[in-house]
Structure 1
Amino acid sequence: MTKIVECVPNFSEGRDKAVIEAIAGAVRACHGVKLLDVDPGASTNRTVYTFVGGPDEVVEAALAAARVAFARIDMTKHKGSHPRMGALDVCPFIPVRGVTQKECVAIAATFGRRLAKELGVPVYLYGAAATKDFRTTLPQIRAGEYEGLKDKLIQPKWEPDFGSREFVPRWGATVTGVRKFLIAYNINLLSTKEQAHRIALNLREQGRGPTQLGRLKCCQAIGWYLEEQRLAQISLNLTDYDVTPMHVAFEEAKKDAAELKIGVMGSEVVGLVPLAALLQAAEYYIAKEELFILEEEQKVQLAINRLGLSTLSPFNPKERIIEYCVGAGQGVGKLGRGSVEEFVRGVAARTPAPGGGSVAATVAAMGAALGTMVGQMTFGKRQWEALDASMRRLIPPLHHAAISLLPAIDADTAAFNAYMDAVRLPQGTEEEKGVRERAVKVATEKTIQVPLSLLKAIDQTWEPLVEMATVGNMNCRSDLQVGARCLEAGAWGAYYNVLVNLDNLLEGPERNSYLTQAEDLLQKARRGCEAVLSEVEKRAE
């Protein structure tokens, strides 16, 4: 899966267009990142930049932007309505896809360390990356702001996480860390401002005060009125959409609106939204309405429709969903996205990759897809109407396996290339030998874990495929047979790749564990294939 990190640096300049554009240009010039938004504010004298990319790429882009700011922003002359303590005031990193919060903590630390070393400025860590309990939030660290920073730096408790205590007048100090993705989400009401705010108070976590807390955790909200639209809105910040998803906020607002006899006219997302947030909503409405939807695109459209996200203006998924903006889609790489002809020619070329591992993943994905097809050719047809409930249960795991195996086609080749890069590292000195040895070990384990993950994914297909063979459309029996053989072949291919890469791992408990897992999963694949073929043959007699 493609790793995506969002970075939202706030620079203390919101009026000088040349400086604002110079910082934006530095980000745009960085490979592997996409600048999504530049939001300057004259009264705050502050500009918020939003860009996304891989873990290493966002760090490089943030440093490039900071270099421009260091040359062009002078905090001794800065005035603005927003609290601030530095030219690059705060630089949070937010996990979006395929990246854990723990990984983002390491990313923030890398950025902070490099920023302090390169520019000679003090840097503090906050949020999940904070090193001290009394300075986890921005208000705690910003207390006294830029004007009080010189005296603050000499206090032992306020020694920076990176850099010295020396006050840098032109810069001040920077805070970096990790936070969850914040969704700015508005719900439209045919009501007054006061009615909208009344519902907002019911919903938001702080409610009306300590004795009257609201119903939704990780939710900030107020009510306001839009004169140009002639409607009110509940304006929400969902600070952790895993705790309070958009659809939960929307449905709770609808309950309160119904009690007040207020019309709800859809909702809107301000800025960008992670794909997972829309899929959460889709799964809720699929379950609530007992729908049967498999494809991601259709799920996204369902969420847009049920939440009314296009009520005020069209919601274009390609422009509003982060993963689609950066072309990440479902994490399928170049090999998986290419044509069959390109893939076959690539395998046949005089290169070691793509090789057997990528072919095994391709074959396995086709096997799961054939099982899905048999289910699709059974579901919704009048003569097999009695099987609809079974097909609703059996098709999704096979479909999920088929789609989720696609990234594995590229993963095997990427793991092999990473191993070869590690092997080629210099080893002229003892230090270089140590670096190379560690890199080779990490890369070797990855070449084993990738095919082992393929075996585990294949293992999830046998139970639904065997049942599909017992009840599915028998006009498609050859597809079931081919599908089972493809999955078994994929398992054999993954097993062989585990074995060949184990040769690069020293003897020990870890090596034995990998081998045992691979052998067990291969035997389960052989039994699964036999079971599918046996069921088909019984029904064909």
Structure 2
Amino acid sequence: MLVCCKLHISESRNKAALESIEAASKIMHGVRMINKFEDETYNRVGYTLVFQLPPNSFSDVCPLKDAAFAMVKSALEAIDLNTHSGTHPRLGVVDHICFHPLTDTSLEQTAKLARSLAADIGTKLGVPTFLFGAAHDKGRTLDSIRRELGYFRPNADGHTWFGGPNSQYLPLRPDEGPSHVDPSKGVVVIGSTRWVGYYNVPIFTTNISAVRKIATLISERGGGLPSVQAVALAHGEGAFEIACNLLEPDKAGGDQVQIEVERLAQEEGMVIGKGYFTDLSLDKIINTFLESRDSSIDH
């Protein structure tokens, strides 16, 4: 019974902050960091943690949840959102956390961990926290929360996001924590879903309107690929990316996204690069964890 926790933190340039966050992840026995993905332009880092639950475990007491809480606490202490900027949107210092069931773990088990972590962050750290997916009683989606909180609208010149939510008072009531925002911390969004893939495709152009059009046409919301969410983000000088969430990779995976972006970009006369995943595959994550666990047992 394996469970995965992905944490996306709005920082990649402050190495001292990242070191303290990563040190916090190591305090709980059995929790392993399987992957780390940093993006300097987005000023964002993603961590993938995995833990093996005891058989028939239905408790919200879990070292993985405790490790995630320690990382959140460390991030909030080390990072000031007021001084943060990047080309990836964000709602908080800890922008997004999601628990995924692996192997024989159930979605309800991971949802319980997400709800428990949200309660701890809201009450102990005093940060407004929102639930999505199986962790929310009505199955609210991550993108619906983001839209209501203005996630997809740059709040600085050009294509840059600076700081967090513009208003101290939230238009959406948090599930845990206060209803007002500390601008240095922002909010946290926590959920539980089936496996989600993240796939980005570079497009070398300065025509943001054309790139946004492609992002819309790729998305299921715009009549494109099923279970794909896409957004156009600046990524370096004269370049953008179509950043995709693959909500059901078996329905539409990275290969299909790549082919469709290439087709649409060609119609616009634009050059694109080879896309990439920002995390390991589901099978690779499971195998990497099992190999690291078995190696530690052997020693």
Q: What TM-score bracket applies, with the shorter chain setting the length?
A: 0.5 to 0.7
Output one character per residue of 1:303-332: Cα deviation in whole Å (capped at 9) or x when no partner: xxxxxxxxxxxxxxxxxx122211179x9x
Which residue is equivalent to 1:163? 177
How far has the Cα of 1:130 moved from its partner?
A: 3.0
Which residue is equivalent to 2:5? 7
> Secondary structure of 1:63's partner?
helix
Write the distance in 2 (CA, Å) between the matches of 1:123 and 1:220: 23
Please list, as runs of the form range in 1=range in 2, the aligned pairs for 1:393-432 lying within 5 A after superposition.
Answer: none
Which residue is equivalent to 2:94? 88
Identify which of 116, 120, 144 aligns with 1:110: 116
Where do 5+ consecutive residues of structure 2 fail to align? 54-61, 152-162, 202-213, 232-241, 264-274
2:169/2:180 contact within 8 Å kept: no
1:150 aligns to 2:174 (yes or no)? no
Which residue is equivalent to 1:322? 285
1:140 aligns to 2:147 (yes or no)? yes
How far has the Cα of 1:35 moved from its partner?
A: 0.8
CA RMSD of aligned residues (A): 3.9
Output one character per residue of 1:101-125: Cα deviation in whole Å (capped at 9) or x when no partner: 2222111101101111221221111
Output one character per residue of 1:453-510: Cα deviation in whole Å (capped at 9) or x when no partner: xxxxxxxxxxxxxxxxxxxxxxxxxxxxxxxxxxxxxxxxxxxxxxxxxxxxxxxxxx
Identify which of 45, 70, 75 aligns with 2:76: 70
Query: Structure 2 length normalisation: TM-score?
Result: 0.66
> Secondary structure of 2:136's partner?
coil
Percentage of pairs with the same residue = 26
Seen in structure 2, the aligned counterparts of structure 1 residues 149 and 204 have a Cα distance that, compared at 3 Å, is: same
Amino acid in structure 1 at the alignment position of 2:127 = V
How far has the Cα of 1:246 moved from its partner?
A: 7.9
Which residue is equivalent to 1:274? 282
Which residue is equivalent to 1:218? 227
Tell me the matched-pair count: 239
Q: Which has a greater percent of helix?
A: 1
How far has the Cα of 1:81 moved from its partner?
A: 1.9
How far has the Cα of 1:241 moved from its partner?
A: 3.2
1:240 aligns to 2:203 (yes or no)? no
Output one character per residue of 1:398-442: Cα deviation in whole Å (capped at 9) or x when no partner: xxxxxxxxxxxxxxxxxxxxxxxxxxxxxxxxxxxxxxxxxxxxx
Write the distance in 2 (CA, Å) between the matches of 1:324 and 1:183: 17
Please list, as runs of the form range in 1=range in 2, the aligned pairs for 1:24-423 lying within 5 A after superposition.
Answer: 24-54=22-52, 56-131=62-137, 136-137=142-143, 138-143=145-150, 146-152=164-170, 158-183=172-197, 206=220, 210=223, 213-214=224-225, 217-219=226-228, 238-244=246-252, 271-275=279-283, 321-327=284-290
Amino acid in structure 1 at the alignment position of 2:91 = M
Please list, as runs of the form range in 1=range in 2, the aligned pairs for 1:511-526 lying within 5 A after superposition.
Answer: none
Write the distance in 1 (CA, Å) between the matches of 2:23 and 2:84: 22
How far has the Cα of 1:170 moved from its partner?
A: 2.5
How far has the Cα of 1:90 moved from its partner?
A: 1.1
Where do 5+ consecutive residues of structure 1 fail to align? 188-199, 223-233, 257-266, 276-320, 338-541
2:165/2:183 contact within 8 Å kept: no
Write the distance in 2 (CA, Å) between the matches of 1:133 and 1:169: 28
1:8/1:48 contact within 8 Å kept: yes
| Bigger Rg, structure 1 or 2 | 1
Q: Which has a greater percent of strand?
A: 2
Write the distance in 2 (CA, Å) between the matches of 1:271 and 1:246: 12
